[in-house]
């Protein structure tokens, strides 16, 4: 049986604004997902543009040779 995976990809959102000690809004449902699942405190983009980054995420090929 395969695991259930929910992949949230939000462009232009700083994680410290919606989760953590300095957050500016309440997100009980996201908090619940984080408590029961996985949460990565650090992430690195594969490129500086959204389209190229999405291409890399969903194909596992880096931007060299890919056109967005």
Considering its fold, how many domains does the chain have in total?
A: 1
Distance CA 63, CA 53 (A): 8
- Residue 20 has a pLDDT of 67
* DSSP secondary structure code for residue 49 in this structure: S
Q: Is the pLDDT of residue 61 over 70?
A: yes
Q: What's the domain range around 21?
A: 1-68
**5-41 confidence digits (pLDDT tens):** 888 777 777 766 766 677 777 888 888 888 888 777 7
**pTM as predicted:** 0.50
Residue (of 36, 40, 48) closest to 11 by Cα position: 48
**32-56 confidence digits (pLDDT tens):** 888 888 777 777 777 888 888 888 8
Q: CA 19: distance to chain centroid?
A: 13
């Amino acid at each position: 049986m395969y695991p259930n995976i929910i992949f949230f990809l939000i462009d232009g959102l700083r994680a410290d604004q919606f989760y953590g000690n300095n957050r500016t809004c309440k997100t009980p449902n996201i908090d619940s997902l984080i408590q029961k699942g996985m949460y990565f405190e650090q992430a690195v983009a594969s490129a500086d543009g959204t389209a190229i980054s999405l291409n890399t995420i969903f194909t596992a090929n880096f931007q060299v040779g890919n056109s967005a």
